[in-house]
Amino acid sequence: MVDKVYIHKKRVYGFHLDFYKHVNNARYLEFFEEARWEYLLPLKKSKVLEKRNWITIVVRVEVSYKKPLELFDDIAIHTSINEIGRKSMTFNQKIYKNNETTISALANIKFVVFDTVAQKSLSINDEIKAIFGLL
């Protein structure tokens, strides 16, 4: 288990809402993705993956919706890598609204590190763990 948690904050606006006046399930995926991009921003800026011809690829998404998000909710998306496997890692993400302690939605997003030259996913070794700050 890894305990580095990144918190990304944002507000729900009208363009996030659907006909039923709450955030549509597909928008949650966008919220989670935005938070993952922010989590990975230091890696993207340093080009540490790019220099090795590596990219990250999402291979599995599991989302549980607990409480609806509505107009002007202030949300905090907590992102961490909570599982490190042999060939993949998993982001654990939770959305909290309006400083509540209950979860509005949670996701487990499994991803691989992919070598674009060799055209294969890599084994998660100490070098990869170190790059992701997991050692």
Asked if the structure places residue 1 within a domain, the reply is: no
Confidence of residue 4 (pLDDT cuts 50, 70, 90): confident
For residue 109, count other CB atoms closer than 10 A to its CB: 21
Q: Is residue 77 part of a domain?
A: yes
Examine residue 58 and state whether it is found in any structural domain, yes or no: yes
Domain span at residue 120 reads: 6-131
Looking at 18, 73, 74, 115, which residue is catalytic? 18
Active site residue 115: no
CB count, 10 Å around CB of 117? 8
| Predicted pLDDT at 127 | 95
Are 75 and 12 in contact, with CB atoms under 8 Å apart?
yes
In a domain, 56, yes or no: yes
Q: How many domains does the chain have?
A: 1
In a domain, 116, yes or no: yes
Answer yes or no: is 62 within a domain.
yes
Q: What is the DSSP letter of 123?
A: P
**pLDDT above 70: percentage of residues in the chain:** 98
**What CATH number does residue 47 fall under?**
3.10.129.10
pLDDT 10s digits, 70-94: 999 999 999 999 999 999 999 999 9
Query: What are the pLDDT digits (tens) for 115-130?
Result: 999 999 999 999 999 9
CB 6 within 8 A of CB 79: yes
Q: Determine the pLDDT at residue 131.
A: 93
- Would you put residue 93 in left (φ > 0), alpha (ψ -120 to 50) or beta? beta
